[in-house]
Amino acid sequence: MSELGEVLKKARLERNLSLDEIQEQTKIRKRYLEALEEGDFDVLPGKFYVRAFIKNYAEAIGLDAEEVLKYYEDDIPKLHPKADEVIPARKPQRIRSASSEKFSKILVNVLLWGFFILIIAVLWYYLALNNKSEPNEVDNTPITQNSEAPDTTVDEPETTPEPTPPPTPEVVPTTVTFVEKVGEDDIYTIIPAADAYTLSVVAEGGDSWVEVYDGNKSGTRLYYATMKKGESKSFTISNSAFIVIGRPGDVKMTVDEANVDIGDSIKKRKRIVLKAAQ
């Protein structure tokens, strides 16, 4: 690797630029950029392009191109006076005679007038077609005394009366009320009476032992375990239920979203009986 190539590569890496990005910016092929960094100038298409490639590469990575070319003059291959000289091909001049130019102008005028006449002809054709269509015939027969007057009555559409919608049944919200204490059991009444309710139990304050029976203590056991803090359970019960709660103060209980006031004690177990109103 030449000293010039090391300088170019180091400056590129310091700016976190890849050869692909330099290629996109300078439009110089990646393999030519690699050749510049390696100092392998024989890979380039000709010595004529070496200085131009180095200048574009240096500007792309933020270096002073003229200073780089001047400082590393000895590393750059010398260009022979006539070697690798690229002489751009000159485009042949088109010589047009006066007669050909005159003919072209005439041809353009003829085409323009022909196009204009064609448009007029198309418009005339469509107008002539529309004029051929016959107007609607009007009956001019005079109305005599024996002539029947036209029936001008308009039949009104029969209207069907809309059915009266049935009255919307009134929804009575569920309420749970403490009634009395019988022995160890706290009796609550559920209003209104229904065939089934949704009982929800949430262990809000901490772990709590919970038993749930549908009906009474001898009924179907729905749950029998310790509920962890934050755990919730829902049960479908009939018109009565029996519940045992180990730490009532840590538990929230609702029936169809109606709160059941079970107190705030966490030391005494509570036995709850829920009964639908008769």
Query: Is residue 262's pLDDT more than 60?
Result: yes
In a domain, 217, yes or no: yes
The residue assigned the tokens 């059941």 is 260
DSSP state of 164: P
CA atoms of 278 and 276, how far apart (whole Å) = 6
In a domain, 141, yes or no: no
Task: Please say which residue of 47, 75, 103 terminates a domain.
Answer: 75
Quick: pLDDT tens for 113-145. 988 899 999 888 888 887 765 555 555 655 555
3-state helix, strand, coil in the chain (%, to 5): 35, 25, 45
CATH of the domain at 16: 1.10.260.40
Per-residue pLDDT, 241: 94
Quick: pLDDT tens for 217-236. 898 999 999 999 999 999 99
Task: Please say which residue of 75, 96, 122 terminates a domain.
Answer: 75
Per DSSP, helices labelled H in the chain are 3-14, 19-26, 30-38, 50-60, 65-71, 98-132
CA atoms of 82 and 59, how far apart (whole Å) = 28
More confident residue, 150 or 62: 62
- Mind giving me the DSSP string for 72-98? TGGGSPPPPSSTT---PPPPPP----H
The pLDDT confidence band at residue 83, using thresholds 50, 70 and 90, is very low
Edge-to-edge order in the sheet of strand 220-227? 175-182, 185-191, 270-276, 240-245, 208-214, 220-227
In a domain, 124, yes or no: no
Within 8 A by CB and 6+ apart from 29, the residues are 23
Cβ-contact 4, 10 below 8 angstroms: no
Quick one: which of 200, 219, 206 has its CA closest to 248? Answer: 206
In a domain, 170, yes or no: no
**Residues facing residue 270 across a β-bridge:** 245
Q: Which of 50-54, 148-152, 192-196, 234-238 has the highest mean pLDDT?
A: 234-238
**How confident is the model over 249-269, as a mean pLDDT?**
88
**Residues facing residue 178 across a β-bridge:** 188
Mean pLDDT over each residue of the chain, to the nearest integer? 81
pTM: 0.40
Domain hosting 62: range is 3-75
Quick one: which of 61, 59, 57 has its CA closest to 44? Answer: 57
Query: Is residue 98's pLDDT more than 90?
Result: no
In a domain, 115, yes or no: no
In a domain, 47, yes or no: yes
Cβ-contact 144, 227 below 8 angstroms: no
User: H or E stretch including 276?
Assistant: strand 270-276
In a domain, 103, yes or no: no
Q: Residue 80 corresponds to which tokens in the numbers above?
A: 């022979």
In a domain, 116, yes or no: no
Number of domains in the chain: 2
Task: Please say which residue of 16, 44, 75 terminates a domain.
Answer: 75
Cβ-contact 216, 271 below 8 angstroms: no
The pLDDT confidence band at residue 88, using thresholds 50, 70 and 90, is very low
